Amino acid sequence: MERVLSGMQPSGRLHLGNLVGALQNWVRLQEKYECYYFIADWHALTTQYTDASQIKENIEDMLVNYLAVGLDPKKSTIFIQSWVPEHAELHILLSMITPLGWLERVPTYKEKQQEIKDRDLATHGFLGYPVLQSADILIYKANYVPVGIDQLSHLEITREICRRFNFLYGDVFPEPEGLLTEFPKVTGLDGRKMSKSYNNCIYLSDAPKEVEQKIKTMMTDPKRIRRTDKGDPELSPVFQLHKIFSTKNEQEEVADSCRTAAIGCLDCKEILIKNIFKVLEPIWSARKRFLEKPEFLKDIARAGTEKAKMAAKETLTEVKNVLGLY
Ligand code: TRP
């Protein structure tokens, strides 16, 4: 069976954008592929190295979310990156053959440095971020990597490192391909892309009351001031969310009633709240179950890690052989 691998940095809580853009796709892929899903805690350290205390909490919450959305440890291997130190061993071996120029040219390298002003990212670890990601992928000989567009440059360098390795030492790694999710970007509460850095998210861990409150206070068409004003749904971030969470019929209905002022913004929001609750309710109740059993969570991570380690060790042995290490 072909292999799929993906991971996320435990750098914050997961939100609806992560759910729709990635996790729901991961869940579907479990049925067709041998899947490896992990928590990239070393990657989080490349930018949060001055204070790692938050990472631990985020790992636990991420594990809860992975399971609550339907990743199934019976179908997929779910694990924590730093518990499989073989990734680091492959990372150092790949770093030997990776030209500096390739890394300096990765767009995220300069972008993130400009974006994140409060920390010094002129570090070896941060420059090597894509090499570590390559090791994550290649150590499982993954065929497919479901990621968002923002990760394509990292995948491209993984493919380059893969080709260079195979060219120098013989065919060891299959060239991994990206699997782009076809979902549109989830709009945040303020109309921009949902992102924790914009503080405009609905989190999977938000309480029902919080979600309701967040949607009720969302912006709508700024020109629709009075209930009797006719609105333009396309100018309302609420409608953008309807496009993802409501049925086609509901979308047409709220759009028409907005244009004719047949319903008010609060009515429109009530429908959205109902539909988002439909998605979140099973996640909330699963989260509750898992949060009550922290030991069970850890056991799942341990078992997944053991499985991952076996596959990783096998590849690493092969790598050391072709390299001719003593
Ligand atoms: N860089 C990815 C992100 O920020 C996380 C990640 C690390 C990853 N290693 C990976 C994703 C390997 C896919 C495959 O989202």
Where b means 16+ CB within 10 Å and e means fewer, 8-47 reads bbbbbbbbbbbbbbbbbbbbebbeebbbbbbbbbbbbbbb
C-beta of 43 in contact with ligand 1 (< 6 A) = yes
For residue range 135-178, list pLDDT tens digits in order.
999 999 999 999 988 899 999 999 999 999 999 999 999 999 99
Give the pLDDT of residue 197: 87
Which range marks the domain in which residue 269 is found?
206-287
C-beta of 6 in contact with ligand 1 (< 6 A) = yes
DSSP state of 198: G
Same domain, 117 and 80: yes
Give the pLDDT of residue 182: 72
Same domain, 124 and 245: no
How far is the centre of ligand 1, averaged over its atoms, from the C-alpha of 151 (Å)? 7
Same domain, 262 and 313: no
Amino acid at position 278, single letter: K
- Band (pLDDT 50/70/90 cuts) for residue 105 is very high
How far is the centre of ligand 1, averaged over its atoms, from the C-alpha of 155 (Å)? 9
Which residue's CA is minimally distant from atom 8 of ligand 1? 7
Same domain, 228 and 305: no
Residue 140 contacts residue 36 (beta carbons within 8 Å) = yes
Same domain, 96 and 227: no
Which residue's CA is minimally distant from atom 5 of ligand 1? 8
What is the percent of the chain where pLDDT is above 70? 100
Which residue(s) pair with 79 in the sheet?
38
C-beta of 145 in contact with ligand 1 (< 6 A) = yes
Domain count, the chain: 2
Where b means 16+ CB within 10 Å and e means fewer, 78-106 reads bbbbbbbebbebbbebbbeebeeeebeeb
Round the average pLDDT of the chain to a whole number and report it. Answer: 96
For residue range 268-279, list pLDDT tens digits in order.
999 999 999 999
Q: Check whether 83 has a pLDDT greater than 90.
A: yes
Mean pLDDT of 23-44: 97
Residue 196: active-site member: yes
Q: Check whether 13 has a pLDDT greater than 90.
A: yes
The enclosing domain of 228 has a CATH number of 1.10.240.10
Give the pLDDT of residue 181: 75
Check residues 114 and 16 and name the one with the higher pLDDT.
16
C-beta of 40 in contact with ligand 1 (< 6 A) = yes
